Every structure is written in structure tokens, then in C-alpha cells.
Amino acid sequence: METPNQESPQDNRDLNRDNYSISLSDAMAGVFTEPSETFSEVKSSARKNYWLIPLLILLLVSVISTVLVLKDQELSSEISEKQRAKMKEQFDNLVKEGKMTREEADEQYEKNEKFFGGMIFMIFGLTGTLFSVLIFFFGKSLIYWIINKILKGNANFIDVLNLAGLAGLISCVQIVINTSLAILTGKLLMNIGPVMFISRDSVSEPVYKLLASVDLINFWYLVVLSIGFSKFSGINQTNSYIIIFLLWLVWLMMVVFGPFGMFAGG
């Protein structure tokens, strides 16, 4: 007979379940091995912060990738030439619109050329990388959270941060592979996809950007993201796939035909 102060075995099991937390290392490994079970355990875990360390890893990998690319003579030359051409086009348009004389445009162009090499070029590249990663991370998390709210899902903002952070570890793998391929081939926008077998000059720019966005590792990332979104929000798995891949298609159109062409291949 139990006294009023004694806890039953069932009470102990419930208490242990309530206090259970999957470790950060198990959660990070589980994204690659058992994403469905891992996201379920993270959702029900007493611990809530699973996103900060993965985000820091993503930032570190992105910074290292940027340094390697900008230190590669062939790749850095391709980047700087594109930026020079874009800047020249902008100055030419200003001259055509009568907002600047040709002499002023040439003088300004020469002044700005110093930013396309050396330490200044590296600093701008690293700064851009850090801001891009942070903006995309929190921006995507906000979009997932808003869609979750619209569909009356039960994920909170910490849940979507955990989702973005843990799934972002796959993006780290993608960055490592794509950076290695770019350095080996001497071509930007290189990945495990059709862009490996097509020359940039053989197709139009929009078609090349489209092909560069067809990355097998990115599809792996989208599948894991869909699984996690379903587990955190409680939304049907099929609907979760539809939502995540539709968002990717919208982004793809913005990259290929809109103002975000610089992010092609991501």
C-alpha cells in the first residue's frame, strides 16, 4: 500500500518523460541518420535551444568557404570581373540618363576598382557572407513560423529556429562539397547536379541559373526540412512537403528571373 507521499512507478516514468532531453550531439547526428525520430524528440524535449550551435557551425563553414573561394585566383577573378561589369553597366546607365558625365563615370569607376582586390575585397566578402547567412536563417524561420500560424500549426518560434538550425547542418555539407567542386573545376555555381556537365556559354543565363539550382544535396535538405516542419507543426507530412517545395520554387523563380540571381545555386 502506497503512502500519500510515495510516487508510483507510473508517476516516475511520466516525470522522467517530462524532464527528458535529447542531447545536442544526438540531435545533430540524428538529422543525418533518423530525421523523423530526431525532430519528434527535439519537439518534446525539455531542452529548447538546439539552434545556436548549428547556426555557429553554419557561419564558420560559410566563412571558411568564402575565404577559400576568394583566395583562389581563378574563382576570385571570375567574381571581380562580374562585379566590375555590373558596376560599369550601372555607370553607363547613369550617363545615358544624364545624371553623370562620361568623365565623372570613368573617374568614379577607377576609384571603386580598388575594392576588387586585396584585403578590402576579402573583408567585403566575409561581411556579406555573415550578413547573408544570418538574414536567410532568421528570415526563413520567420516565414516558416508565419505559415505554421496561418495553417494553425502548433510550432512556436523556437521550434522553427531549431528546425532551421538542425536542418542547416545539411547545408554545411552542401557548402563543403560545392566549394570543393568549385575549386577543383575553377568554376563558380558548381554542385552535384546537371550544372557539372554543362558549359556556361552553351546556354542562356536564366537556364544556367536554373540548372545551377538543381542540387542533389539541396533536395536532401528540402526533404529533411519537410519532415521537420511536419513534426514541429503537426501539419500532415504530405502538406508539409508541398509547402516546403512550393516555397523553394518561389525562391527559384526569384533567383532565375528576379533580383536574387547572385544566390543561384543555393
- Tell me the pLDDT band of 13, cut-offs 50, 70 and 90: very low
Question: Residue 42 has which C-alpha cell?
Answer: 527535439
Place of cell 518560434: 157
- Tell me the pLDDT band of 11, cut-offs 50, 70 and 90: very low
Cα 50–chain centre separation: 17
Residue 231 located in a structural domain: yes
Residue 26 located in a structural domain: no
Residue 117 located in a structural domain: yes
Residue 221 located in a structural domain: yes
CA 51 – CA 161 distance, rounded (Å): 6
Q: What is the tally of structural domains in the chain?
A: 1
Place of cell 557572407: 129
Residue 92 located in a structural domain: yes
Question: Residue 133 has which C-alpha cell?
Answer: 547567412
Q: Is the pLDDT of residue 8 over 50?
A: no
- Tell me the pLDDT band of 9, cut-offs 50, 70 and 90: very low
Which of 82-91, 182-191, 231-240 is least confident?
82-91
Residue 30 located in a structural domain: no
CB contact set of 215 (below 8 Å; sequence gap of 6+): 174, 178, 191, 192, 193, 265
Q: Is the pLDDT of residue 7 over 60?
A: no
CA 234 – CA 51 distance, rounded (Å): 20
Instruction: Specify the pTM.
Output: 0.82
- Residue-range definition of the domain harbouring residue 121: 48-261
Annotate 104-116 with b (16+ C-beta within 10 A) or e (fewer): ebeeeeeeeeeeb
User: CA triplet 224, 146, 26: central angle to 5 degrees?
Assistant: 35
Cα 209–chain centre separation: 17
Residue from 66, 35, 39 nearest 155 by CA: 39
Place of cell 544570418: 134
Residue 22 located in a structural domain: no
CB 143 within 8 A of CB 247: yes
Residue 266 located in a structural domain: no
